[in-house]
């Protein structure tokens, strides 16, 4: 039996060598660098990142690894213009670059999130199910998706995984990308599957991500299917929680159980899956030799997956029945190309989209006196993602610390520099007080009342930032309550403080879905079914409606079983 926290063929590979540095000094440099990169809330973040990169380069100078490194052969399956992006990442260079700090910090966050999401599960399929479920609940699906295929135009493809975690909303491709990388941190390989377009056979349609797993040494390699648009794993035969590619290729009834009705079928059939290609995530950040070298030296609680042996993953996936070939997945390179485009119109559209999604975190738009709202939301989001819900105080109560207060007379006696220093001191004190209560405290601090927002002399965009911050905090408090098993409290946050408070808010679809999940978990199944079926404009509606139908059948079966048992007890 393979284990979800073990190593798989694609999560490591040969590393440059040999080493000629004492382990103690080299390890100290690595440990201090990673510790600096892991710290959050630092006001000197740019300086700290630069220092961490400098220490990693000092370690490389001491280690003197050989440079007989060659690019991953799977990159040859990319279009030539995208292969150039891999070269632009200096993949063969044994020298860390300032921008590498972003990849390292993203990997740290992904590792911590994956640990929270999978809990104490260790076997491959249960771990993948937990990671996928976490992704669906925490990442609201963006509008405009199509069941049975993943849309790959710039309107649906713009975020990197770290942004998807921060914003909490994404398209199906971005949802899939995040799921792949969370799985990678658990030692699992998840690939994208595509099938030949029936109307244009040379063209492949991206379908869904699949876990590559071998249940035991005597079993074949299998691909387990997870649909990011439905928000559901494809159910397997005889009550299995997730089907394999081989099973749906052999039995179309497994796919027909995804039909809503004759007018709303699941658009993929077994006959469509005669030519399936496995596409391996091998984005530019996971290719450099320096990342593989560093990964090989991380130990204990600093252990991370920083690289991928894409060819090994491809070879392993091709051992699964029904896979015709394996190539590199283009999406990470498409996103990089989109960000480097010289097309002013495309670049402006991308910037506007990202600016809108990141608005609640843009503290620099606010006067200094209100920046604590946005900064606190950002801190709270990070604590939320890594599972620090209640902080050092460990409180279950919803804490809303008092707002920062500055005495007018005190300020009048100070010059401008002194006033600014005092304001920053009070801000830090306030944030640290809230942080003692974890994500709960920081989110509560970001929830200004409508009266407080309207009383401030701010520009419209600044007030919109504060309103969005409140919406985010309220919705995310519901997610925290769900994670902690406090389902009645989750219902209150989703129903009252999100849907009723903001009927046309940015979290309507996610709140409706998660309200259904909370009701279901609380045993209020009839209410959950009604909620799943109510949001007919949700991009995840097809999957939500399926979930409602399956839950209704479970309820009916339980009712019939109870009736039969009662009848059998009659004299």
Question: Over the stretch 159-199, which tens digit does the pLDDT of each residue have?
Answer: 999 999 999 999 999 999 999 999 999 999 999 999 999 88
Give mean pLDDT, residues 215-228.
93
Domains of the chain, residue spans: 65-339, 359-558
pLDDT range class, residue 1, cuts 50, 70, 90: very low
Q: How far apart are CA 294 and CA 303, in angstroms?
A: 10
CA atoms in the 13 A half-sphere facing the CB of 27: 9
- The pLDDT value given to residue 568: 65
- The pLDDT value given to residue 153: 73
- The pLDDT value given to residue 396: 46
Q: How far apart are CA 569 and CA 207, in angstroms?
A: 50
∠ Cα 255 256 258 (to 5°): 75
- The pLDDT value given to residue 71: 86
- The pLDDT value given to residue 161: 96
pLDDT at 73 over 70: yes
Overall pTM surpassing 0.75 (yes/no)? yes
pLDDT at 366 over 90: yes
Give mean pLDDT, residues 68-77.
89
pLDDT (tens digit per residue) in 28-42: 999 999 999 987 655
Average model confidence (pLDDT) for the chain? Answer: 88
Q: Say which range, 59-63, 289-293, 346-350, 427-431, has the weakest mean pLDDT.
A: 427-431
**Of residues 570 and 304, more confidently modeled:** 304
Strand, helix or coil at 195? strand
Q: How far apart are CA 462 and CA 117, in angstroms?
A: 34
Residue entry with tokens 């460990």: 394
CA-based nearest residue to 387, from 464, 440, 424, 342: 440
**Of residues 132 and 403, more confidently modeled:** 132
Q: How many CB atoms lie within 10 A of CB 427?
A: 18
- The pLDDT value given to residue 436: 77
Q: How far apart are CA 544 and CA 508, in angstroms?
A: 14
pLDDT at 147 over 50: yes
Token pair belonging to 324: 């015709």
- The pLDDT value given to residue 571: 60
- The pLDDT value given to residue 110: 97
- The pLDDT value given to residue 430: 64
**Of residues 427 and 122, more confidently modeled:** 122
Q: Say which range, 32-41, 231-240, 276-285, 463-472, has the weakest mean pLDDT.
A: 32-41
Q: How far apart are CA 338 and CA 232, in angstroms?
A: 29
pLDDT range class, residue 216, cuts 50, 70, 90: confident
Strand, helix or coil at 329? coil
pLDDT at 298 over 90: yes
pLDDT at 321 over 70: yes
∠ Cα 521 525 530 (to 5°): 120
pLDDT (tens digit per residue) in 452-481: 999 999 999 999 999 999 999 999 999 999
pLDDT at 58 over 90: yes
- The pLDDT value given to residue 5: 45
Give the sheet arrangement for strand 200-213, strand by strand.
232-233, 222-227, 200-213, 189-197, 276-280, 323-328
Give mean pLDDT, residues 527-537.
96
Give the N- to C-terminal CA distance of the chain in Å, as an integer. Answer: 50
CA-based nearest residue to 33, from 287, 294, 286: 294
pLDDT (tens digit per residue) in 486-507: 999 999 999 999 999 999 899 9
Q: How far apart are CA 239 and CA 157, in angstroms?
A: 35
DSSP secondary-structure letter at 390?
A: S
pLDDT range class, residue 61, cuts 50, 70, 90: very high
- Burial code (b: 16+ CB inside 10 Å, e: under 16) for 110-125 equals bbbbbebbbeebbebb
Highest mean pLDDT among 19-33, 231-245, 364-378: 231-245
pLDDT at 435 over 70: no
pLDDT at 222 over 70: yes
Q: How many CB atoms lie within 10 A of CB 26?
A: 18
Max intra-chain CA distance, the chain: 92
pLDDT at 394 over 70: no
Burial label for 384, CB within 10 Å (0-12, 13-18, 19+), is buried
pLDDT at 570 over 70: no
- The pLDDT value given to residue 18: 36
């Amino acid at each position: 039996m393979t284990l979800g926290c073990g190593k798989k063929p694609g999560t490591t590979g040969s590393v440059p060598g040999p080493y000629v540095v004492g382990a103690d000094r080299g390890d100290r440099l690595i440990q201090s660098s990673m510790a600096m990169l892991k710290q959050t809330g630092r006001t000197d973040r740019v300086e700290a990142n630069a220092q961490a990169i400098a220490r990693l380069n000092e370690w490389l100078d001491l280690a003197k690894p050989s440079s007989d490194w060659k690019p991953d052969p799977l990159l040859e399956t990319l279009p030539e213009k995208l292969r150039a992006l891999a070269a632009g990442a200096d993949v063969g260079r044994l020298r860390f670059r300032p921008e590498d700090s972003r990849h390292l910090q993203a990997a740290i966050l992904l590792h911590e999130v994956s640990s929270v999401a999978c809990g104490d599960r260790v076997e491959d399929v249960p771990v993948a199910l937990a990671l996928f479920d976490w992704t669906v609940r925490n990442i609201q699906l963006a509008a405009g998706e199509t069941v049975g295929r993943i849309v790959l135009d710039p309107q649906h493809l713009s975020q990197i995984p770290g942004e998807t975690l921060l914003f909490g909303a994404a398209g199906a491709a971005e949802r899939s990308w995040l799921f792949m990388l969370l799985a990678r941190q658990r030692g699992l390989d998840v690939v994208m599957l595509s099938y030949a377009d029936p109307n244009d056979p040379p063209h492949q349609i991206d379908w869904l991500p699949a876990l590559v797993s071998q249940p035991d040494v005597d079993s074949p390699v299998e691909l387990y299917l997870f649909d990011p648009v439905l928000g559901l794993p494809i159910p397997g035969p005889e009550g299995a929680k997730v089907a394999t590619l081989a099973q749906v290729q052999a039995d179309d009834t497994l796919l027909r159980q995804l039909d809503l009705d004759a007018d709303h079928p699941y658009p993929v059939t077994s006959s469509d899956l005669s030519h399936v290609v496995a596409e391996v995530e091998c984005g530019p950040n996971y290719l450099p030799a320096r990342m593989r070298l560093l990964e090989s030296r991380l130990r204990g609680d600093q252990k991370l997956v920083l690289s991928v042996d894409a060819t090994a993953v491809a070879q392993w996936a091709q051992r699964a029945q029904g896979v015709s070939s394996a190539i590199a997945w283009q999406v990470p390179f498409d996103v990089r190309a989109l960000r480097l485009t010289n097309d002013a119109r495309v670049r402006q559209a991308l910037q506007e989209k990202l600016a809108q999604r990141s608005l609640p975190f843009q503290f620099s738009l606010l006067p200094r006196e209100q920046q604590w709202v946005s900064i606190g939301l950002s801190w709270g989001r990070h604590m939320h993602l890594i599972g620090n819900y209640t902080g050092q105080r460990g409180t279950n109560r919803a804490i809303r610390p008092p707002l920062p207060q500055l005495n007018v007379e005190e300020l009048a006696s100070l010059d401008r520099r002194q006033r600014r220093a005092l304001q920053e001191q009070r801000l830090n004190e306030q944030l640290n007080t809230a942080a003692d209560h974890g994500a709960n405290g920081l989110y509560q601090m970001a929830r200004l009342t409508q009266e407080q927002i309207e009383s401030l002399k701010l520009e419209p965009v600044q007030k919109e930032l504060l309103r969005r911050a409140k919406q985010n905090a309220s919705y995310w408090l519901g997610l925290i309550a769900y994670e902690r098993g406090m389902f009645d409290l989750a219902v209150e946050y989703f129903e009252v403080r999100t849907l009723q408070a903001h009927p046309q808010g940015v979290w309507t679809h996610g709140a409706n879905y998660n309200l259904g999940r909370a009701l279901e978990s609380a045993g209020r199944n009839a209410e959950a079914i009604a909620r799943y079926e109510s949001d007919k404009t949700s991009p995840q509606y097809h999957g939500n409606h399926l979930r409602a139908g399956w839950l209704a059948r479970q309820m009916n079966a339980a009712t019939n079983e109870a009736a039969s048992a009662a009848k059998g007890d009659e004299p």
